[in-house]
Structure 1
Amino acid sequence: MNTPTLENERVKLTLLDLSNYQHLLPVAQENDLIQFSPSKIDTPEDLKSYVQIAVDGYYHNTTIPFIIYDKNSESYVGSTRFGLINRKNKVLHIGWTWISKPLQGSGLNTSIKFLMLQYAFETLKFDKVEFRIDERNIRSRKAVEKIGGTLEGILRKDTLMQDGFKRSTCCYGILKEEWPQIKATIFKNF
């Protein structure tokens, strides 16, 4: 599989794997970093397991995991991925995104999402990009709405969390025919 490096003036996304995940250990240990995720990453063992699952998906052509390098701070600051890649139906998900808390709200995530959407629609020629977000995660839901995601429905109590809570998941989507308008208006500065 050809692994892209996605890059602009602000951020560089390269393949996350077992050779570089250690750069993320300090970020992964930030308090409540992924409180709305069913995953656990706050110990070295948990982070390695999380990355191993992403790498396994990569070798099965269902995920492309990225390590996020922020050019402003000159450091690795998180992870994101394409997942649930369905080449037949030309649909994939963008998610599993976590960024160091001091950089949340800084515009970094918008730069990341622009690169990923551009790659999904313009290079891969996919028809749809989906996002799945915990119903309680208002900040992430607003971020996806801000970049043009449309709420398509809510899967009620579909995901078991680490603490035993069954979360409901909001499903958002962007269609390829919506991308040119989104790119021209929301991402006009990229």
Structure 2
Amino acid sequence: MTAFDAQPTLLGDTLQLRPLRADDFQALFAAANSPETWAGHPATERYRHEVFEPYFQFLVQAGGCLLILDRQSGEAIGCSRYYPVPDQPDDIGIGFTFINNRYWGGATNRELKSLMLGHAFQRFERVWFHIAPSNIRSQKGTTKLGARLAYEAQLDLSGTPAAWLCYELPRERWASVVGH
């Protein structure tokens, strides 16, 4: 099996994804510093510098994180991450995603996930999404991709075990959603 590149550069119609770097803090914090961006998210205070900074450091150190750029403006608008799934070692997870609230309600999340899923499915048969039970927006967005709730579990995805809703998306289901 070939190795998986967890930090590729991916280009879409309106987005560019590239590896997150330590010097991206200011650009990513500018995308994160609105309370509306974190509305409905379990980390409602993440728009604050002192709360965002440890999160950013985790993302850089953990690896697999991609900075989301608006191709037209070049502005950072969020990030997302590939990560190993503790209880599904043959699969990959996509998560730790946030997109600035100005980009909600359009095609941005779909394009982001399409780019990341297309890359992941070159190597993996299944992708997992782990969503906090209180994050209704992410639950709805994930089901629109064709993912289905498989089970609930206590998993350590970021240094602290937590309760997660575990959504599964097999390659074949994604192919039927996108018409391939």
Shorter-normalised TM range: 0.7 to 0.9
2:174 counterpart residue number:
179
Q: How does 1:18-167 map to 2 (within 5 A)?
A: 18-34=22-38, 35-38=40-43, 41-58=46-63, 64-84=64-84, 89-122=89-122, 125-155=123-153, 158=154
CA distance in 2: counterparts of 1:127 and 1:89, whole angstroms: 12
Listed as ranges, the gaps of 5+ residues in structure 1 are 59-63, 160-165, 186-190
For the aligned residues, what is the CA RMSD?
2.8
How many residues align? The count is: 170
- Percent of residue pairs bearing the same amino acid type: 27
Q: How far did residue 38 of structure 1 move?
A: 4.9
CA distance in 2: counterparts of 1:167 and 1:32, whole angstroms: 24
TM-score (norm 1): 0.77
When residues 84 and 150 of structure 1 are mapped into structure 2, their CA distance, relative to the original with a 3 A threshold, is same
When residues 174 and 47 of structure 1 are mapped into structure 2, their CA distance, relative to the original with a 3 A threshold, is same
2:158 counterpart residue number:
none
TM-score (norm 2): 0.81
User: Post-superposition, which runs of at least 4 consecutive aligned residues in structure 1 deviate over 4 A?
Assistant: none
Which one of 15, 19, 42 corresponds to residue 11 of structure 1? 15
Q: How far did residue 133 of structure 1 move?
A: 1.1
For residues 137-183 of structure 1, what are the alpha-carbon distances to aligned partners after superposition, in whole Å with 9 as ceiling and x for unaligned?
2221111111100111223xx48xxxxxx974211011123232123
CA distance in 1: counterparts of 2:30 and 2:149, whole angstroms: 33
When residues 48 and 17 of structure 1 are mapped into structure 2, their CA distance, relative to the original with a 3 A threshold, is farther
Q: Which letter maps to 2:140? A: K
Q: How far did residue 52 of structure 1 move?
A: 2.0
Q: How far did residue 39 of structure 1 move?
A: 8.6
Q: How far did residue 49 of structure 1 move?
A: 2.2
